[in-house]
Amino acid sequence: MRSACISVKLGIRERLSPSCGSNMLSCWLSRLCRGFSTPTGRITHLSRGSLSRTLVLSSQRRIPEFSSFVARTNTCGELRSSHLGQEVTLCGWIQYRRQNIFLVLRDFHGLVQVVIPQEESAAAVRKILCEAPVESVVRVSGTVISRPPGQENPKMPTGEIEIKVKTAELLNSCKKLPFEVKDFVKKTEALRLQYRYLDLRSFQMQYNLRLRSQMVMKMREYLCNLHGFVDIETPTLFKRTPGGAKEFVIPSREPGKFYCLPQSPQQFKQLLMVGGLDRYFQVARCYRDEGSRPDRQPEFTQIDIEMSFVDQTGIQRLIEGLLQYSWPSDKDPVVVPFPSLTFAEALASYGTDKPDTRFGMKIIDISDVLRNTEVGFLQDALSKPQGTVKAICISEGTYLKRKDLESIRKFAADHFNQEVLPVFPKASRNWNSPVAQSILEEQRSGLIRLMEIREDDVVLLTAGEHKKACSVLGKLRLECADLLEARGLVLRDPTLFSFLWVVDFPLFLPKEENPGELESAHHPFTAPHPSDIQLLYTEPEKVRSQHYDLVLNGSEIGGGSIRIHDAELQRYILATLLKEDVKLLSHLLQALDFGAPPHGGIALGLDRLICLVTGAPSIRDVIAFPKSFKGHDLMSNAPDSLPPEELKPYHIQVSWPANSEAEKSSLNQPYCPES
Amino acid sequence: MRSACISVKLGIRERLSPSCGSNMLSCWLSRLCRGFSTPTGRITHLSRGSLSRTLVLSSQRRIPEFSSFVARTNTCGELRSSHLGQEVTLCGWIQYRRQNIFLVLRDFHGLVQVVIPQEESAAAVRKILCEAPVESVVRVSGTVISRPPGQENPKMPTGEIEIKVKTAELLNSCKKLPFEVKDFVKKTEALRLQYRYLDLRSFQMQYNLRLRSQMVMKMREYLCNLHGFVDIETPTLFKRTPGGAKEFVIPSREPGKFYCLPQSPQQFKQLLMVGGLDRYFQVARCYRDEGSRPDRQPEFTQIDIEMSFVDQTGIQRLIEGLLQYSWPSDKDPVVVPFPSLTFAEALASYGTDKPDTRFGMKIIDISDVLRNTEVGFLQDALSKPQGTVKAICISEGTYLKRKDLESIRKFAADHFNQEVLPVFPKASRNWNSPVAQSILEEQRSGLIRLMEIREDDVVLLTAGEHKKACSVLGKLRLECADLLEARGLVLRDPTLFSFLWVVDFPLFLPKEENPGELESAHHPFTAPHPSDIQLLYTEPEKVRSQHYDLVLNGSEIGGGSIRIHDAELQRYILATLLKEDVKLLSHLLQALDFGAPPHGGIALGLDRLICLVTGAPSIRDVIAFPKSFKGHDLMSNAPDSLPPEELKPYHIQVSWPANSEAEKSSLNQPYCPES
């Protein structure tokens, strides 16, 4: 932990974040544009893995040709001293102008300085370059020359050269902008979304979208070219799936008949396995109508994979190889295999099924140490049959202020109705808490031994039933990390990508609205754990599944399972255990009868993964045209009202809510963006 | 022409068609599975083109590893004499069994013969292999051995070897099938679609889908890795575009507000150009609600491309390179550049804007030759100011029977209300047609010279206004080709892929319902031809556009244009000429004001392209789960009815047509597939 803090403090300077200056971003973009690759035969990540046979593609990749087929010879950002003396034609946007002497021209690749000619014979060129407003598009032709000694700009990738212009053409003039296209100019997200086409010009958005494209391309190479997967498109005009309450509906031209937009290609990919297309993948658009949920999108993308004749380990090794192969070369390489925890272990140690394993602070059961405690609420808890006392040790927790600890206690009380006790077993400082003082000396030393407590550490105690106590401490663990980082410590190395498999989930959960009935913990096609098959018929709530989640830095970025390929078992689970209407799935059940191979798969959430890789604050920053959290396109004003005659072919009409007459009459009012 | 016929007759034996036996398909699939590539450093297509720098990726590609991560060592189809003596584990479907001695096991890669052990000690293995029904899934382990001399099967890629089995496992048994999974077993398309997962097991469908995946992968390599394009996903939950009457609507949770599924990412890709993402592509899902149209799908896929700073030639060279690079290596290489015709030339010579240039039979204006004709309907036509006489020369037309010619005349009369006259200028044979006989000898010899008529040729004459006469003959040209091919001639070489650019389309067309008004010939963002800009303000109907279509073998497989990047011009065309509601496009118009670069692009229809490349009879054969021509998924029964409470969150209700009460009450009846 402690050594990580130091390295992090160094590492963070290199971290890509929206507050970086555009020069630094321009450097990063420039590296990105050279590909995740090297012009010479450098050894790639894969050679560190087990797939050394598959090196050819990546190690010999060339830099793409960015100026083929178009009216430029080079990009602005690629020019270096090696181009000195070359005649070039550049197209770009005017980033800024200095005293009518210099112009900085920008394209996706970077910035370059253009010298505005001062001589009388170049009056026409000078006029164009001096009069065009900022963000106008121009084409210039000229010679790459050295900057005069002392005027080089080492922070700029093109800082050693400039362009001596011969001709210039104004391709399009720019009107007054709603905001400046400079990364350091702050603007609200609503404004950025409304003028998304301007926001996309920022180096940050260019970096995010280009990195996304390149990572997906590498994933395709890995799946298609190296491992023989077939990229198959599945329909998005489908029908309602059982329990698919979050599916958008699409009226058809047949009265009362609706398509639905699927939440995933789950059924289709299983049917492809039955169809003998035994290694399927798709970068699949999926849809989920969740109303307003922060950091979710009504349409999203997943890397969707299914294989026949595979087991859990096979899928895990495939995905580890996939991430290793596609990982950006400007990040630390991915180390495989990823560690794995069972669902039960994850809950016990981290209080969640998606632990952030970048830092320790694990939950420890200290029931035995405190068996004879005199602290009232601990005593109460331990006297119950399932009662436990749990704790986390906050490294350097003495950096927390009194009000931090108060907010933690309040958080636990408000959200979990749970008492939490901070103690400082080794600190000289104490809070005069009578409760803390009633912990006996032998208990204190027991705790210090068990939890490896050091000077400056703080311990948070709570008590109660295992799952609840763990959940509370799991949340507090993250809260404490946030608080400590707000106080200047660095617990979560921003250059660290900590992958984790979580396995052995329960197959069923009690229904929230009716705990006597079961629902699938994930989906009804998940195969039970082979050791637990018999429990299906006796204690189904105890059956573990062959589901696996992939977690990165505390976010679930993927999930999958081995599927049921036996029609009888599938029918039993759907009809008898889940009480679903099997008619809706008759095609799938029938398919399992006709020689369905054993199969399994996984889906990775691409938006979330790219968000974590780029360090973006929101998935909206890795999507070209995202919806707002209310599901609106703030640029085009979608969704929009339609005249009733356009609904007629679909045999639907709007049921206006009683209180929305006012709203209805205001539909044609000018659009007012949400804040 | 004549020499083409001969080569075709040889070529056709190699053509992939659904009537081929599965052995031959298995060979083709085996080639496909080895990739569009060569294990050694063979020179690829590109070296014949202009892009020699970009060879690295393709020439060094390896065969993908099809058996990584799964419970087999090899695929059934890959085993050869070089594997002799190897211990292998195979997973596959039982294709057939012969006398309980041999079993043929199938996977996507091909077939392999398994010897069922006869000795007593292998009774368990024998029982599994003899009792499992056909299409059951089994795993076998054993040794690759030579077939006994004389028992090799040269038609089978694995025909030199067989598997001596040691262990076998029944992975899933198969119930009685609705049809046999053998290519030679004919079944209706409705049955194939209902049990699509069984149909997908055919070698033909495996070939089609795998070829599609590989071609798209190569396109991605070309665009991303070689030319620096960025793969960007654009939203499919969008809003109605002006004139977008064919867009599916999706109710949102806001009363009266609807998303629409876009017909193409047109607006988004232009906005990306404004956003400085200057080389965009996407394999984009698009939607068009056209009701029941044969060989159309409500959702389809296009290779969607947009570039900044490009002109028409730039896009054309890009696409030629793209097709050349991605073209399957088992086809003749693509020759670039593609020929080009203006819209006017295409109409004049082929009577259509998508000419099939695999064969001649061009339309020729013979007005001058027949200026003094005594044939009544020709005389009538020529006496009018725009009157013309046109003809096509049907090579070897004397192969046509009298009833063929009658059907041609009837077709012209029925569909175009147009008279057509067949004449045999050089043939001894004649039809005693008094009209034909009234063509004078000097006219006859004039025709023979002008049209290069040979013995056995037939000429079809028609008369009237230029466009109409050309259209009729354009249709008849294709009709004649069909009829001649039905008589055993081969006009259209099935191995030939004849690409053609068609350019200089009109920018506007008169509206069908109101010819006094104009509508866009393609879409309102298409830039006018630079030479015709001034005509926009005087005679807009005469303005040519910078639109280009890509035609392959008489099918339009792509179209695009240079776009308008000037906001004023775009406003003038939308508001003044097209009288559209510009409010719906205010975001796009505003974007053009803020430094939009000149840009253009294209979209290729992927389904149609793959259909032509594979020679499939329908685009449904290159889509994994297509809809029927009525827009139904015959497998899952989509679209389907929904309970009213599931429509409530979307504030819609069904408007039942007056006469559909019966239909409504029958909604829960068992499903009856369409025929």
At residue B292, does pLDDT exceed 90?
A: no
Hey, which residues does A250 pair with through a beta bridge?
A259
A476: in domain: yes
Q: Which residue of A has its CA nearest to B662?
A: A255
Domain around A101: 76-172
A403: in domain: yes
pLDDT band at B445 (very low <50, low <70, confident <90, very high): confident
pLDDT band at B658 (very low <50, low <70, confident <90, very high): confident
Section B664-673 average pLDDT? 43
Pick A637's closest partner by Cβ from B239, B250, B625.
Answer: B239
pLDDT band at B41 (very low <50, low <70, confident <90, very high): very low
Q: What distance in Å separates residue B605's CA from the closest CA in chain A? A: 14
Pick A591's closest partner by Cβ from B197, B271, B317.
Answer: B197
φ/ψ of B619, rounded to 5, equals -65, -20
Whether residue B213 is found in the same domain as residue B289: yes
Nearest to B489 by CA among B612, B618, B362, B401: B401
Q: Which residues of B touch A599 (CB under 8 A)?
A: none
At residue A416, does pLDDT exceed 70?
A: yes
Percent of chain B topping pLDDT 90 = 74
Q: What distance in Å separates residue A518's CA from the closest CA in chain B? A: 22
- A22, A60, A68, best to mutate vs chain B, most B CBs in 10 Å: A68
Q: Which residues of A touch B629 (CB under 8 A)?
A: none
Triad B328, B199, A244: Cα angle to 5° = 105
Distance CA(A199)–CA(A185), nearest Å, equals: 11
Hey, which residues does B551 pair with through a beta bridge?
B500, B556
> Tokens 């979050």 map to which residue?
A246
- B213, B216, B234, B268, best to mutate vs chain A, most A CBs in 10 Å: B213
Distance CA(B74)–CA(B76), nearest Å, equals: 6
Whether residue B620 is found in the same domain as residue B605: yes
Tell me the pLDDT tens digit for each residue of B618-655: 999 999 999 998 999 999 999 999 999 999 999 999 99
B657: in domain: no
Pick A69's closest partner by Cβ from B33, B277, B318.
Answer: B318
Total Cβ atoms within 10 A of residue B523 = 18
> What are the structure tokens assigned to A89, written together?
């034609």
Q: Using the beta-carbon criterion (under 8 Å), do B56 and A66 form an inter-chain contact?
A: no
At residue B47, does pLDDT exceed 80?
A: no
Q: What distance in Å separates residue B388's CA from the closest CA in chain A? A: 42
B594: in domain: yes
Residues whose CB falls within 8 Å of the CB of residue A576, separated by 6 or more in sequence, listed in order: none
pLDDT band at A242 (very low <50, low <70, confident <90, very high): confident
Rg (CA), chain B: 30
Whether residue B535 is found in the same domain as residue B578: yes
**Chain A / chain B CB contacts < 8 angstroms:** 438
Distance CA(A276)–CA(A309), nearest Å, equals: 11
Say what the pLDDT of residue B26 is.
62
Q: Which residue of A has its CA nearest to B663?
A: A255
CA distances from A511 to A56, A203, A518, A544, B571 (A): 51, 47, 5, 17, 57
Q: Which residues of B touch A108 (CB under 8 A)?
A: 276-278
Say what the pLDDT of residue B541 is.
96
Q: Which residue of A has its CA nearest to B200?
A: A275
How deeply is A17 buried, as exposed, middle or buried, from its count of CB atoms within 10 A (0-12, 13-18, 19+)?
middle
Section B454-482 average pLDDT? 94
B646: in domain: no
Q: What distance in Å separates residue B538's CA from the closest CA in chain A? A: 25
CA distances from B406 to A394, A469, B157, B361 (A): 94, 89, 49, 19
Q: Using the beta-carbon criterion (under 8 Å), do B225 and A61 form an inter-chain contact?
A: yes
pLDDT band at A60 (very low <50, low <70, confident <90, very high): very low
Q: Using the beta-carbon criterion (under 8 Å), do A172 and B596 form an inter-chain contact?
A: yes
> Tokens 């085993």 map to which residue?
B79
Q: Which residues of A touch B198 (CB under 8 A)?
A: 274-275, 594
Section A597-621 average pLDDT? 97
pLDDT band at A584 (very low <50, low <70, confident <90, very high): confident
Helix B203-220 and helix B312-326: axis angle, to 10°? Answer: 130
Q: What distance in Å separates residue B77's CA from the closest CA in chain A? A: 13
Helices (H), A73-230: 123-131, 189-194, 196-199, 203-220
Tell me the pLDDT tens digit for each residue of B543-570: 999 999 999 999 999 999 999 999 999 9
Percent of chain A topping pLDDT 90 = 74
Q: Using the beta-carbon criterion (under 8 Å), do A597 and B275 form an inter-chain contact?
A: no
Are B77 and B110 spatial neighbours (Cβ–Cβ below 8 Å)?
yes
Report the number of secondary-structure helices (H) and strands (E) in chain A: 20, 23
Q: Which residue of B has its CA nearest to A65?
A: B227
Q: Which residues of B touch A217 (CB under 8 A)?
A: 220, 224-225, 231
At residue A34, does pLDDT exceed 90?
A: no
End-to-end CA distance of chain B: 41
Section A193-211 average pLDDT? 96
At residue B293, does pLDDT exceed 60?
A: yes
At residue A433, does pLDDT exceed 90?
A: no
Distance CA(B115)–CA(B118), nearest Å, equals: 9
Q: Label the pairing between strands B340-342 and B499-503.
A: parallel
Percent of chain B topping pLDDT 70 = 86
Are B235 and A625 spatial neighbours (Cβ–Cβ below 8 Å)?
yes
Tell me the pLDDT tens digit for each residue of B196-222: 999 999 999 999 999 999 999 999 999
At residue B17, does pLDDT exceed 80?
A: no
Q: Which residues of A touch B213 (CB under 8 A)?
A: 224, 230-232
Pick B309's closest partner by Cβ from A53, A72, A214.
Answer: A72
Whether residue B235 is found in the same domain as residue B344: yes
Distance CA(B597)–CA(B600), nearest Å, equals: 10
Tell me the pLDDT tens digit for each residue of A519-532: 999 999 999 999 99
Q: Using the beta-carbon criterion (under 8 Å), do A224 and B238 form an inter-chain contact?
A: no
Distance CA(A412)–CA(A402), nearest Å, equals: 16
At residue A9, does pLDDT exceed 70?
A: no
Whether residue B203 is found in the same domain as residue B336: yes
Helices (H), B392-529: 402-416, 434-437, 441-451, 466-486
Q: Which of B486, B515, B534 is the last residue of a domain?
A: B486
pLDDT band at B310 (very low <50, low <70, confident <90, very high): very high
Kindly report the CATH number assigned to the domain that includes residue A427. Answer: 3.30.1360.30
Rg (CA), chain A: 30
Whether residue B342 is found in the same domain as residue B392: no
Pick B235's closest partner by Cβ from A268, A299, A651.
Answer: A299
- B258, B315, B563, best to mutate vs chain A, most A CBs in 10 Å: B258
Q: Label the pairing between strands A299-308 and A599-605.
A: antiparallel
Q: Which residues of B touch A93 (CB under 8 A)?
A: 276, 595
Q: Which residues of A touch B317 (CB under 8 A)?
A: 69
Q: What distance in Å separates residue A637's CA from the closest CA in chain B? A: 8
At residue B28, does pLDDT exceed 70?
A: no
pLDDT band at B615 (very low <50, low <70, confident <90, very high): very high
CA within 13 Å, CB half, A200: 28
Nearest to A307 by CA among A604, A603, A599, A602: A599
Residues whose CB falls within 8 Å of the CB of residue B643, separated by 6 or more in sequence, listed in order: none
Whether residue B251 is found in the same domain as residue B341: yes
Q: Using the beta-carbon criterion (under 8 Å), do B639 and A257 form an inter-chain contact?
A: yes
pLDDT band at B62 (very low <50, low <70, confident <90, very high): low
Nearest to B108 by CA among A234, A588, A275: A275
Average pLDDT, chain A: 88
Pick A309's closest partner by Cβ from B91, B199, B289.
Answer: B91
Q: Using the beta-carbon criterion (under 8 Å), do A255 and B230 form an inter-chain contact?
A: no
3-state secondary structure of B279: strand
3-state secondary structure of A242: coil
Helix A203-220 and helix A312-326: axis angle, to 10°? Answer: 130
Average pLDDT, chain B: 88
Residues whose CB falls within 8 Å of the CB of residue B191, separated by 6 or more in sequence, listed in order: B178, B179
Report the number of secondary-structure helices (H) and strands (E) in chain B: 20, 23
At residue B118, does pLDDT exceed 90?
A: yes
Hey, which residues does B559 pair with through a beta bridge?
B549, B603
Task: State CA A191 to chain mean position distance.
Answer: 23
Pick B594's closest partner by Cβ from A177, A285, A301.
Answer: A177
Q: Which of A455, A486, A517 is the last residue of a domain?
A: A486
Q: What is the DSSP string of B314-329?
A: HHHHHHHHHHHHHS-T
Say what the pLDDT of residue A642 is.
93
At residue A59, does pLDDT exceed 60?
A: no
Pick A625's closest partner by Cβ from B235, B596, B650.
Answer: B235
At residue B594, does pLDDT exceed 90?
A: yes
> What are the structure tokens assigned to A556, written together?
């679930």
Say what the pLDDT of residue A429 is.
56
Say what the pLDDT of residue A660 is.
56
- B201, B594, B647, best to mutate vs chain A, most A CBs in 10 Å: B594
φ/ψ of A461, rounded to 5, equals -110, 145
A102: in domain: yes
Section B508-515 average pLDDT? 92
Q: Which residues of B touch A310 (CB under 8 A)?
A: 69-71
Virtual torsion, Cα B423, B427, B430, B433, nearest 10 deg: 20
φ/ψ of A86, rounded to 5, equals -75, 145
Section B164-178 average pLDDT? 96
Q: Which residue has better confidence, A243 or A188?
A: A188
At residue A8, does pLDDT exceed 50?
A: no
At residue B8, does pLDDT exceed 70?
A: no
pLDDT band at A42 (very low <50, low <70, confident <90, very high): very low
Say what the pLDDT of residue A665 is.
47
Pick A256's closest partner by Cβ from B275, B307, B654.
Answer: B654
Nearest to B326 by CA among B53, B613, B560, B616: B613
At residue A610, does pLDDT exceed 60?
A: yes
- A172, A197, A224, best to mutate vs chain B, most B CBs in 10 Å: A197
Distance CA(A334)–CA(A324), nearest Å, equals: 5
At residue A12, does pLDDT exceed 60?
A: no
Distance CA(B526)–CA(B519), nearest Å, equals: 12
Q: Using the beta-carbon criterion (under 8 Å), do A274 and B53 form an inter-chain contact?
A: no
Percent of chain A topping pLDDT 70 = 86
Say what the pLDDT of residue B605 is.
98
Kindly report the CATH number assigned to the domain that includes residue B82. Answer: 2.40.50.140
B112: in domain: yes
Q: What distance in Å separates residue B499's CA from the closest CA in chain A? A: 20
B647: in domain: no
> What are the structure tokens assigned to A288, written together?
């989920």
Tell me the pLDDT tens digit for each residue of A278-330: 999 999 999 999 866 778 899 999 999 999 999 999 999 999 999 999 999 99
Whether residue B195 is found in the same domain as residue B322: yes
Nearest to A579 by CA among A249, A242, A175: A242
Per-residue 3-state assignment (H helix, E strand, C coil) for B141-194: EEEEEECCCCCCCCCCCCCCEEEEEEEEEEEECECCCCCCCCCCCCCCHHHHHH
Pick A272's closest partner by Cβ from B200, B230, B259.
Answer: B200
Say what the pLDDT of residue B356 is.
98
* Among A360-374, A434-448, B157-171, B643-657, the least confident range: A434-448
Whether residue B612 is found in the same domain as residue B569: yes
3-state secondary structure of B368: coil
Q: Which of A438, A457, A486 is the last residue of a domain?
A: A486
Section A196-203 average pLDDT? 96
Section B393-399 average pLDDT? 90
Are A512 and A463 spatial neighbours (Cβ–Cβ below 8 Å)?
no
Per-residue 3-state assignment (H helix, E strand, C coil) for A1-68: CHHHHHHHHHHHHHCCCCCCCHHHHHHHHHHHHCCCCCCCCCCCHHHHCCCHHHCHHHHCCCCCCCCC
Kindly report the CATH number assigned to the domain that includes residue B291. Answer: 3.30.930.10
At residue B38, does pLDDT exceed 70?
A: no
Nearest to B136 by CA among B164, B176, B101: B176
Nearest to A231 by CA among B555, B213, B411: B213
Q: Using the beta-carbon criterion (under 8 Å), do A636 and B587 form an inter-chain contact?
A: yes
Say what the pLDDT of residue B512 is.
87
* Among A103-117, A443-457, B156-170, the least confident range: A443-457
Tell me the pLDDT tens digit for each residue of A351-389: 999 999 999 999 999 999 988 888 888 888 999 999 999
Pick A256's closest partner by Cβ from B209, B257, B667.
Answer: B667
Distance CA(A565)–CA(B136), nearest Å, equals: 12
Distance CA(A327)–CA(A218), nearest Å, equals: 8
pLDDT band at B378 (very low <50, low <70, confident <90, very high): confident
pLDDT band at B398 (very low <50, low <70, confident <90, very high): confident
pLDDT band at B427 (very low <50, low <70, confident <90, very high): low
Q: Which residue of A has its CA nearest to B310?
A: A70
Say what the pLDDT of residue B2 is.
36
Number of structural domains chain A divides into: 2
* Among A339-348, A498-507, B459-468, B666-675, the least confident range: B666-675
Hey, which residues does A141 pair with through a beta bridge?
A89, A167
Helices (H), B221-246: none
Are A608 and A601 spatial neighbours (Cβ–Cβ below 8 Å)?
no
Nearest to A602 by CA among B295, B69, B600: B69
Q: Label the pairing between strands B110-115 and A640-641.
A: unpaired
Q: Which residues of B touch A566 (CB under 8 A)?
A: 172
